[in-house]
Structure 1
Amino acid sequence: MSPLDLYCATCGAANISDTPTCFACGNSLSDAEKNDEQATLPSSGTFLHNRYRLLSPVGEGGFAKVYRAEDTETKNIVAIKAIRLKSLSSQEIIDATDTYNREIRFGKALKHPALPALLDHFMDQDHWYLVASFIEGETLEAYQQRLSAGHLPIWEVLDIGVQICDVLSYLHSRQPPIIFRDVKPDNIMRTKNGHIYLVDFGIARQYRPGRHRDTQALGSPGYAAPEQYGTAQTTRRSDIYSLGATLRALLTGINPLEETEDTEQAATMPSALSTLLSQMLEKDPEKRPETIEIVKQRLESIAEKTGIALPHAQTFTQPASLLRSSSPAAPIFPPTAMPGSAAPSSGGSGWSKSALVSLALVVLVIVGGGISVFSMSHHSTIIDYEPVTRGETTPSLDPQSFVFSVGNSTEISNLDPATADVLSTQATSMLYAGLVQLDDSLQVKPQLASSWQQNADGTTWTFKLRPNLKFSDGSPLTSEDVAFSFDRALDPATHSPTASYALRAIKNADQRLNGSLSTLIGTSIIPSDPYTIEFITTGKVSFFLSALTNPSALVINKTSFEQHGTSLFTTYLKDGGTSGPFQLAYYQSSERLDLIPNPYYYGPKPQIRKVSFVYNGASYSSEQPTMTEISQRNIDQFKNNASFHQTAASEITYFAMNFRIKPFDNTKIRQAFALALDKELLTRISQGDVAFATNHIIPQGQKGYTPSLKGPDDTTSLKGNLIFAKELLQEGMKEEGINSSSQFPPVTFTFSSSGSEVIKREVSSAQQMWQNVLGVTVQLRDISYQDLINQLESKNTQAPQLWRSGWIADYPDPQDWTTLQFGQGSLYNRVNYGQNNSADAARQQQVQQMLQKADSMPDNEGRLRLYQDVEQKLVNDVAWIPIYQQQQSYLLQSKVHNFTLNGFNVVSPDNWAKITLS
């Protein structure tokens, strides 16, 4: 039985031992759900993703099925691989995540006639799915077994060999090179007319110069080169070995593991071919042919000298990527092996659990009323080429340029600043300018505005624009563009996720957001002349300048938007419309984003000629990329590297308790639940070194951060206070008339894992701590993130009692972390602080009044001290249970000078003028 073969029937926790009781809730596992090979998978006729109708299974094994399905939108036939998640262990999740990400990354990035197309990927609560082209054909292994001779004729083997050389040459020429690592008959599809497809990128990898060996030994026995088993790093010559083994197996009909000294005599072949295969199969990589191009040339030469015509070698054309057929055909996923597995070398119909593809571990958190990927993958890249338009050939990367590598499973898909998500923050801050900007220390500095002032009563802000401002196409930038950009961000048709709170301080913004006002221009957003714009606010708003650093306040070209609409931000952005230090050179949402300096930017121009964001998880080397994000699973490998850096991200993960639902209307019970948790252990269990435990609501690196802040027990400890927690629980129970733990009100901990075993492990650990320290049984409830949002926004009995969530800063002011979360009437006061019937409600309302005072204080130092005082009171009341703060981990080449990330993990716009490369 593997470590996670049993799921508790009581609490649903995945158990990590063979003990008879659940480690999380202590109940018997006798009725636990056992995850065997009968695990449920979707059945034929099921609709997936409101789009795909499953027609019939075409391959099945273990916990996965491959289906022939109909895309009801296009009416095309596709192949869908469905993988059941529930039975994966922690290590299997890690391995499967890597495989799934690799399939998606390569499927999006690679375009070749012999590579099937990855069309879609999605998930539900119990499964991961990959949608791909449906190829009419069969694997070479199946084709060979069907032939009466048991092997292929020489002419066909040579034709297949040249076709495979062609696609391997394409992969090996990528930068960095892609090593397939699993060339074998079962991973090669053959159509009825003899066209060849190379399938299954489950263990493909990118070549890393200087590495001595691979991280994992992966490959198919008999076909994998010796170095794939950990003796050395796999290179292009590893694929040459596998191709040699494949060609010889096709010629002889004998599996490589069953070969004898007389194997080559099993088929008649020219001596030149026998010599070539022997060289390709040398154990020493240095003795094999140097490149796959050399192999191709020698195969073509052998065919020419023996009078063999190669029907597909020179006339290979891409067939229709989606074939309609009434009869079942083989999908691009081979039936005998899953990506990432060392499949049986011949035949076989089953998949092992370790062979399952996986889902990227994307943690979703609540961000200002919306959902955002809980990551700060702000990166970029640079290249030397003339600007190109969307749809042209992707330019090559220049190793002398600045290259930011975006995480493997992420992409910047949105260049509209009004609707930009967290992943787009760096790119939008480079393409667009605001009235103000943030420096390295998160201080507000002028950008398009040369100056500003607040009137005597504090309700009007007047900004003077710099003279002769221009957009990237040379057209003038005036106050009309500023007014239009702000008003558009508040337009309900724009659906801006951040304007609702970043710009809410503008008078009547709420009415503009709900559609009752058609515009605010001329009333509370007033462009009084081309160089002057005024904002009327709801009152004295001291955080207004900080809020204007949010992407929703960036300025776009009014004329360009009126001409092109939202397509401005994709198809037409290169033609003009950017106001920041860079302009668009190339954009392919699933591939690359390339930026070059904007010659019309008002300020100092970037010294770096081009910047690109790449999404294919490029490997870090001495040449490219310049900056690479490091994930949790790779941090141990790099954290002692001189190029390794970490900066605190403005992201807090917390547990929240509803003041309106018992027993969490009692402050002492809330404190007991907080102090029963060892935050350092929780963080280590779920995050490793990519986060650090915290007691803070205002995070490290933000304005107003208090290093000396104490927890509810009046200490700075992050390990909890178990004895005090028990005492507080007893006192709280006495106040509530609860005589024993058996009478304690039911407690349900709601969270959304989105299939992440990391989150499940985190909440299960917290559940066990509450049980062990307090003797309180907490039930876990894993729901979809959309259901969690809906319930958090609910003000009725559906609202959660105890839940896991998080917050990412939207602008660098303590108001974002305090008033916005706990203020009177705030939309985001979901814990109902001060909005309850508890004995402490009146005192909480006094704290809310302190927040209102701080929000309007003109004295900056005084208001920061007041926010810090309030934060300590909020911590004592356990308004949140902060658990950990995220860190951005990355490698930065030593050739980079004057590079700094601010507290938002973004390069300040004007800092690009200082960054240089050796």
Structure 2
Amino acid sequence: MKTLFNRARAIALGALLAAGSLAVSAVPAEAQKILHRGNGSEPETLDPHKSTGVPESYIQYDLFEGLVVPDGKGNLIPGAAESWSSNADGTVFTFKLRKNAKWSDGTPVTADDWVYSWRRVVDPKTMSKYAWYLWPVKNGEAVSNGKLPPDQFGVRALDPLTFEVTLEGPTPYFVSMLQHHATYAVNRASIEKHGDEFIRPGNYVTNGPYMLAEAVPQSHIKVVKNPHFHDAANVKIDTVMFYPTENIEAELKRFRAGELDITYEIPVSQMDWVRQNMAKQARLAPYFGTYFFAPNLTKEPWKSNKDLRLALNLAIDRQTLVDKINKRGEQPAYSWLPPGTENYTQQVPEYANWTQEQREAKAKELVKKAGYGPGGKPLEVEVLFNTSENHRKMAIAVASMWQKVLGAKVTLNNQEWKVFLSTRDEKKFKDVVRHGWIGDYLDANNFLALFRSDVGKQNPSGYNNPEFDRLVSEANKLADVEKRRALLQQAERLMIEDVAFFPLHFYSSRHMVSDRVIGWGDNLQDLHPSRFLDVK
């Protein structure tokens, strides 16, 4: 109502001004450039320290500028930090901030803002699911577990433009971590004034190329160019509209009608048609992520019955999933780490080289050994997934395989995104949950750390193996690349042996991109900030 009223008033005022200015020659205003992006599910939250999903991250890449930023081509470039350096052993990093960096309200961005923000992430009061992300920083784990106060966290402001970070030990991937939303600076004054409502339009103060103008649930999020951004002159697009679109088939229809310039996904049901009719607009490329199912290891029978878990894992025909269901260039997955992980060799189990018939025969043997199936207990499995046609088709396909091979009775349970996230993270799902993990940086730690028992709600299955925790922790204390890699590979082999998850496929990025979009570049992390795009 308020928005419509203001527009009507503006139109009326414009008419009056035009009527009173007939003697003045009209000068046409330059046309606004608007980019329309499909964006998956309704955002969980726009608080960068509390969000966990990909849809939120796409919006936050436009609203914020990290110390380093992705350039849309697969590279990292200086962001809020114009330069940085480290000491000889790589345990202390010093970031020189831009002198002309400002918040969207025009106030300067200072090193104190970064100190406040990073302390906020690890402060238990924030309840950030990504607190573990900053554990490489000195005392990060102790602070987030409430053993030390936030002011003991290893960050400080040397002066208004110098931000210093002390690490627990050498961390070769540290700088590449800093594109992630958990490391963004947030505006302290706005948070202290508005509390949890600091993320609302009119309250939200950000330091990126865009600022929040509108946020209408189940409709759109509108961001507009930030005039105070240090590189505003090179930001070509004036307004970006993000549309939550859980119905991927409807999203494709909107793209075909010219209502969207970029889609979040491509529906699997339309993939053959797209290849035949709109191949030029379909952008399919390798994507640094793993799509998987996670058994609830906090509940029985999954907690203590490894044979049962392995039976379900072996009964999944991954080649059929990627060839017949998805058909978008994915690769079958039998391990956790995806292709493209730097300084790492994927740990593939022996059964990955078996035929599917051999895997299914072993699955039948194991399910009987576990006490289920003919002559044993009935095998009943519920699969939880978030509302999406693509996820539904995948769940149906896997359910069919479990029913055919193991005689399982499988029920499907879909939930809206926010409800799904809560159910998944709180481990309230009955049996198995759909999951996916997209790497935030190209190091193995970003995947393996997710299954540490002490990361909290982010752990997909509630996996708890002290030896796995030790291997990952020890590896990240080592500066020796070879020794570190050996420990991380040992950790992956252990979680595969424990059947802590059911990997299905390694992702491919899949978008429809309009011919009017300029500057789109496929990259392994599928990051395309609007600031580096243009439209015809």
TM-score between both structures, scaled by the size of structure 1: 0.46
Note the C-alpha offset of 1:480: 0.7
Q: Pairwise mapping of residues 472-491 of structure 1 onto structure 2 (< 5 A)?
A: 472-491=104-123
Note the C-alpha offset of 1:903: 3.5
Note the C-alpha offset of 1:772: 4.1
Q: Pairwise mapping of residues 528-607 of structure 1 onto structure 2 (< 5 A)?
A: 528-572=158-202, 577-584=205-212, 588=216, 590-596=219-225, 598-601=227-230, 603=231, 605-607=233-235
Q: Is the 8 A contact 1:484 1:521 kept in 2?
A: no
- The answer for unaligned runs of 5 or more in structure 1 is 1-107, 113-383, 387-397, 836-844
User: Structure 2 vs 1, CA of residues 772 and 539 (structure 1 numbering), >3 Å: closer, same or farther?
Assistant: same
- 1:656 aligned to 2:277? no
User: Structure 2 vs 1, CA of residues 446 and 626 (structure 1 numbering), >3 Å: closer, same or farther?
Assistant: same
Amino acid at match of 1:726: A
Distance 1:658 1:621 in 2: 40
Deviations along 1:637-684, one digit per CA (max 9) or x if unpaired, are 433421221234455332335678568857666544433221233456
3-state SS of 1:404 partner: strand
Note the C-alpha offset of 1:605: 4.3
2:432 alignment counterpart: 803
Q: Is the 8 A contact 1:749 1:779 kept in 2?
A: yes
Amino acid at match of 2:282: F
Q: Is the 8 A contact 1:653 1:883 kept in 2?
A: yes
User: Structure 2 vs 1, CA of residues 731 and 471 (structure 1 numbering), >3 Å: closer, same or farther?
Assistant: closer
User: Structure 2 vs 1, CA of residues 677 and 453 (structure 1 numbering), >3 Å: closer, same or farther?
Assistant: same
Amino acid at match of 2:448: T
Amino acid at match of 1:646: L
Note the C-alpha offset of 1:612: 1.2
Q: Is the 8 A contact 2:521 2:528 kept in 1?
A: yes
1:501 alignment counterpart: 132
Q: Pairwise mapping of residues 816-827 of structure 1 onto structure 2 (< 5 A)?
A: 816-821=446-451, 823=452, 825-827=454-456
- 1:695 aligned to 2:334? yes
RMSD of aligned alpha carbons: 4.5
Q: Is the 8 A contact 1:470 1:600 kept in 2?
A: yes
Distance 1:650 1:566 in 2: 33
Q: Is the 8 A contact 2:120 2:126 kept in 1?
A: yes
Corresponding residue to 2:283 among 639, 645, 662: 645
Q: Is the 8 A contact 1:483 1:521 kept in 2?
A: no
3-state SS of 2:291 partner: strand
2:514 alignment counterpart: 893
User: Structure 2 vs 1, CA of residues 614 and 526 (structure 1 numbering), >3 Å: closer, same or farther?
Assistant: closer
Deviations along 1:454-486, one digit per CA (max 9) or x if unpaired, are 556765443332344333444221111111222
TM-score between both structures, scaled by the size of structure 2: 0.74
Q: Is the 8 A contact 1:648 1:887 kept in 2?
A: yes
Note the C-alpha offset of 1:784: 7.6
Q: Is the 8 A contact 1:659 1:832 kept in 2?
A: yes
Distance 1:638 1:413 in 2: 30
Q: Pairwise mapping of residues 63-74 of structure 1 onto structure 2 (< 5 A)?
A: none
Distance 1:620 1:820 in 2: 35
Bigger proportion of residues as helix: 2
Amino acid at match of 2:78: P
User: Structure 2 vs 1, CA of residues 523 and 673 (structure 1 numbering), >3 Å: closer, same or farther?
Assistant: closer
Distance 1:865 1:402 in 2: 49
Note the C-alpha offset of 1:700: 4.3
Note the C-alpha offset of 1:851: 2.6
Q: Pairwise mapping of residues 414-493 of structure 1 onto structure 2 (< 5 A)?
A: 414-420=45-51, 421-440=53-72, 444-455=76-87, 460-493=92-125
- The answer for unaligned runs of 5 or more in structure 2 is 6-27, 245-250
Q: Is the 8 A contact 1:462 1:535 kept in 2?
A: yes
Q: Is the 8 A contact 2:143 2:152 kept in 1?
A: no
Distance 2:83 2:165 in 1: 14
What is the identity percentage for the equivalent residue pairs of Structure 1 and Structure 2?
A: 22
Distance 1:531 1:788 in 2: 38
Note the C-alpha offset of 1:554: 1.0
User: Structure 2 vs 1, CA of residues 557 and 648 (structure 1 numbering), >3 Å: closer, same or farther?
Assistant: same
Deviations along 1:691-746, one digit per CA (max 9) or x if unpaired, are 6543241234555675x76444252x7xx532254247648977x8x7x9645565
Amino acid at match of 1:654: F
Distance 2:106 2:234 in 1: 18
Q: Pairwise mapping of residues 380-419 of structure 1 onto structure 2 (< 5 A)?
A: 401-406=33-38, 410-411=41-42, 414-419=45-50
User: Structure 2 vs 1, CA of residues 895 and 433 (structure 1 numbering), >3 Å: closer, same or farther?
Assistant: same
Count the aligned residue pairs: 495
3-state SS of 2:436 partner: strand
User: Structure 2 vs 1, CA of residues 792 and 578 (structure 1 numbering), >3 Å: closer, same or farther?
Assistant: closer
Q: Pairwise mapping of residues 320-331 of structure 1 onto structure 2 (< 5 A)?
A: none
Corresponding residue to 2:319 among 672, 675, 680: 680
Which structure is richer in relative contact order (CA contacts within 8 A, separation 6 or more)? 2
3-state SS of 1:476 partner: coil
3-state SS of 1:462 partner: strand
1:857 alignment counterpart: 478
1:882 alignment counterpart: 503
Deviations along 1:792-836, one digit per CA (max 9) or x if unpaired, are 756xxx996x52331323622321211321x3644327353535x
Distance 1:586 1:652 in 2: 33
> After alignment, is 458-467 or 807-816 more displaced?
458-467
User: Structure 2 vs 1, CA of residues 598 and 538 (structure 1 numbering), >3 Å: closer, same or farther?
Assistant: same
3-state SS of 1:697 partner: coil
Larger Cα Rg: Structure 1 or Structure 2? 1
- 1:520 aligned to 2:150? yes
2:18 alignment counterpart: none
Q: Is the 8 A contact 1:820 1:829 kept in 2?
A: yes
Q: Is the 8 A contact 2:191 2:198 kept in 1?
A: yes
Amino acid at match of 2:234: P
Q: Pairwise mapping of residues 127-526 of structure 1 onto structure 2 (< 5 A)?
A: 401-406=33-38, 410-411=41-42, 414-420=45-51, 421-440=53-72, 444-455=76-87, 460-498=92-130, 500-509=131-140, 512-513=143-144, 520-521=150-151, 523-526=153-156
Deviations along 1:148-178, one digit per CA (max 9) or x if unpaired, are xxxxxxxxxxxxxxxxxxxxxxxxxxxxxxx
Amino acid at match of 1:639: R
User: Structure 2 vs 1, CA of residues 896 and 789 (structure 1 numbering), >3 Å: closer, same or farther?
Assistant: closer
- 1:626 aligned to 2:247? no
Q: Is the 8 A contact 1:679 1:693 kept in 2?
A: yes
User: Structure 2 vs 1, CA of residues 635 and 449 (structure 1 numbering), >3 Å: closer, same or farther?
Assistant: same
Note the C-alpha offset of 1:544: 3.7
1:615 alignment counterpart: 243
Distance 1:591 1:691 in 2: 30
1:278 alignment counterpart: none
3-state SS of 2:381 partner: strand
Q: Is the 8 A contact 1:663 1:745 kept in 2?
A: no
Q: Is the 8 A contact 1:444 1:545 kept in 2?
A: no
Amino acid at match of 1:569: I
